[in-house]
Structure 1
Amino acid sequence: MFRTLYIIFYFIIDQIFLIPKAMKIDKLEKQGKIKEMHQLLHTIAYTWGRRIVNASGSKVQLSGLEKIPEGPVVFISNHQGNFDIPILLGFIDKPKAFIAKIELSKIPVFGKWIARQRCIFIDRNDPRQSLRAINNGVKTLKEGHSMIIFPEGTRSKGHKMAEFKKGSLRLATKAKLPIVPITIDGSYKIMEANGKLNIKPANVKVIISNPIYTDHLTKEEESGLSDQVYEIIKSHLD
């Protein structure tokens, strides 16, 4: 419980120290220095992710970084727990945003920051809004910013993967950019396996698999893409 209270306190203090950085970002945006603004946002997210994971006492073993292509990509990952976001932000040094449920946008301060990171929020109860979100995601990708998708739609809170949501890879196929499968193994042991709001150190493996290029897929290959990516991610959990 001590570590949980420490993480909560650390998170709150961290948000306070972000205020002057937010002012700097606003200044860069007003000056039209968009490239510098996004680089600062990436640096903030990268260091924040590492700090949060380190504060939990957890260790991350990462393999396959060299497989990530240059330029924007669509990372497809399984989703075991709440710490998946800081893990992927803090251990993959590439500007990126998330396709996230709209509830995250309502978290004070944090919601504003992940919106600045170009995260795309989806309201699962509004199909039209979801379609607009996908179009916004394609635009973000074409502007050179990578995206992360959790196709299960919610945390599995354990070792077993849930099925991918229908149409969850449409963003990648529509943008015609590489898909990079990611397997997260053990992140649920930090929080979800310990009861409500009980954080404990854990060893987490993050495995990056070979990219799948989508720009020349046939319709048949496209229709089987979701199952293909699912099996690649799952193979590292078996």
Structure 2
Amino acid sequence: MTDKGTDKGKKPRGLGKRAWLTTHAVRRLARFLAFIKVVDITVVNRGAVPKKGPVIVACNHISYTDPVFLWGALRRRAIAIGMAELWTMPVVGRLVKLLGHIPVVRGDALSGADAVERATAVVSRGGVLIIFPEGKIVGRGETAPYRPGAARIALATGAPIVPAGIVGSNDVMPLKRDRPGKKTFYRDRKVVLVFGHPIQPEPGMTEDDLIDLVRLRISELTA
């Protein structure tokens, strides 16, 4: 699965000028919405994300709103790996293409490998990558294994992983089976997003070692 402008050897679309302009415009809107408290979100330790250089931001995933909150909280341009279904949606699909995000077909090994390759190219060029290691939204009372993609990219590039923990987004937009009523969006709920200290890959670390450490740090942030 390869979009025009993201072929091997070329600069990833998300690092191009059009993506930068789109990011700037959308972030201004996001900050305005945050200012007028469309959703009450508190961001803690945003400075843990380096101001420059390659970095992977790995976060737990409990709601469809998580990518919006996480992407909007960053002060750098960032590219996320997201489910391919988003690219087929009329408005959202156009936006994720402009921003240069990376689609992945869930359950498709070839698509997953392609997404990791493209994400590695982003990080190798000094970009910020957003990834949800669980690979899906995890409902209340559920758990999901952490997939090794974030660790694989970090070990290949030497980039640090900044763990992030989000709490309360599943109250703002719960999964259908978890909704307390008929509404799909509850703007009066509070969301807290906490960034942890960067985890630097060390010599001799395996993918399992690193992703286990990421899982531990995220669980501490959401406790």
TM-score range, shorter chain: 0.7 to 0.9
Cα displacement (A) at 1:50: 4.1
For the pair shown, which has the larger CA radius of gyration, 1 or 2?
A: 1
Q: Which of 97, 112, 115 in structure 1 is aligned with 2:79?
A: 97
**Post-superposition offset of 1:160:** 5.9
Change (3 A) 1:79 1:226: same
CA distance in 1: counterparts of 2:141 and 2:32, whole angstroms: 25
How far the C-alpha of 1:45 sits from its partner, in A, is: 3.1
Q: Residue 130 of structure 2 is aligned with which of 142, 145, 148?
A: 148
What SS does structure 2 have at the residue aligned with 1:235?
helix
Q: Contact conserved, 2:61 with 2:136, CA < 8 A, in 1?
A: yes
Alignment match, 1:29:
none
Among 206, 209, 213, the alignment partner of 2:193 is 206
Superposed displacement of residue 167, structure 1: 4.1
Structure-to-structure mapping, 1:59-78, within 5 angstroms: 59-69=40-50, 70-78=52-60
Aligned residues: 203
Over 3 Å counting, the alpha-carbon distance change for 1:176 and 1:156 in structure 2 is same
* 1:57 equivalent in structure 2: 38
Distance apart, 1:81 and its partner CA: 0.5
1:223 deviates by 3.0
Which position in structure 1 is the counterpart of 2:144?
162
* Shift in CA distance, 162/225, structure 1 to aligned 2, threshold 3 Å: same
The structure-2 alpha-carbon separation of the partners of 1:122 and 1:220, relative to structure 1 and needing over 3 Å to count, comes to: same
Aligned to 1:133: 115
Q: 1:234 aligns with which of 215, 219, 222?
A: 219
Indicate conservation of the 8 Å contact 1:49/1:89, yes or no. Answer: no
Q: Which residue identity does 2:28 align to in structure 1?
A: T
In the alignment, is residue 191 of structure 1 matched against residue 173 of structure 2?
Answer: yes
Q: Aligned equivalents of 2:31 and 2:138: distance in 1?
A: 23
> C-alpha displacement at 1:222, in angstroms?
4.1
CA distance in 2, matches of 1:169, 1:42: 26
Question: Residue 200 of structure 2 aligns to which amino acid in structure 1?
Answer: Y
Root mean square deviation, CA, Å = 2.4
5+ residue gaps, structure 1: 1-33
TM-score (norm 1): 0.76
Displacement of 1:55 in angstroms is 7.8
Q: How far does residue 78 in structure 1 lie from its aligned partner after superposition?
A: 0.2
Change (3 A) 1:74 1:159: farther
Q: 1:125 to 1:198 in 2, by over 3 A?
A: closer
Partners of 1:77 and 1:164 in 2: how far apart? Answer: 11
Structure 2: 5+ residue runs without aligned partners? 1-14
Give distance in 1, aligned partners of 2:208 and 2:144.
Answer: 19
